[in-house]
Structure 1
Amino acid sequence: MWQNMIFGEFNTQSELIFEIGLVTSDGDIIPINALLDTGFTGWLALDNQDALSLGWILNINEQRDMQTAWGEARFSLYEGTVLLDGEEFTIEVLGGDYLDNILLGVRWLETKRLVADFTAGVLTLG
């Protein structure tokens, strides 16, 4: 039925985990596990060190304040490329300090259909 989709998994905390590719400035693809965070309204968030190591472009003139579970935080803005569902997307990426997880935000649900069926163990995004 849905030909272009990625399959995810539920981790031990029942979080939604998807493998995506982060595309470096040299064109290399680094596969990583990202957590889909429905409370995050952007596209992607990751640690500043990760964004810099990928060679992603930092918009030094702009930062964004956002509310997090720990209070308000300031994020750097990068332009990054991700591989999702066999397609490359150049998106705005929020970079923060001390981010433990790479987060996919709900903006993906504007273009991708999420199916999360815990009882059947089915998790797809496509």
Structure 2
Amino acid sequence: MIQGRFGDKGQIYFDINLIDTDGLSLSVEAMLDTGFTELVAMNKQDVQSLDWVFLRQNKLKSAQGESFFDVYLGRVVIDDQEFEVTVFAGDEIREILLGSQWLKIFKLTADYSENEVTLE
């Protein structure tokens, strides 16, 4: 189980680790975005700095309409579990996003009144 936190506007954040191709682990804060239906989205420049393998381009619907994203194969650690995942990269992505696909793997518990949010 990992503890998260609520942002000023009700966003949900979790600390995760990104693993680069050399095995170096980088701790980052990621925002849960249930409107994003894939696993992970990041800024393209950040993905390239991790030297992850480029797979293809995909077209996805976003809040701005349909957009093309570069798709990479990345490694993330959530709740001490390492996952090899597809990562959607774009120039306009400002935060690391965890998509709703994670809710097929983890149970989300959020209690705003108690200021508690977890993935288990």
Q: Please report the TM-score for the alignment, with normalisation by the length of structure 2.
A: 0.97
Equivalence for 1:26:
22
Deviations 1:18-72 (A, max 9, x none): 000000111011011100000000000001111110011111xx21111111222
Unaligned runs of 5+ in 2: none
State the superposition RMSD in angstroms.
0.7
Equivalence for 1:69:
63
Equivalence for 2:112:
118
Equivalence for 2:77:
83
Equivalence for 2:38:
42
Equivalence for 1:54:
50
Unaligned runs of 5+ in 1: none
User: Partner letter of residue 31 of structure 1?
Assistant: S
Equivalence for 1:94:
88
Equivalence for 1:8:
4
Deviations 1:70-93 (A, max 9, x none): 222110110000010001100111
Q: Please report the TM-score for the alignment, with normalisation by the length of structure 1.
A: 0.93
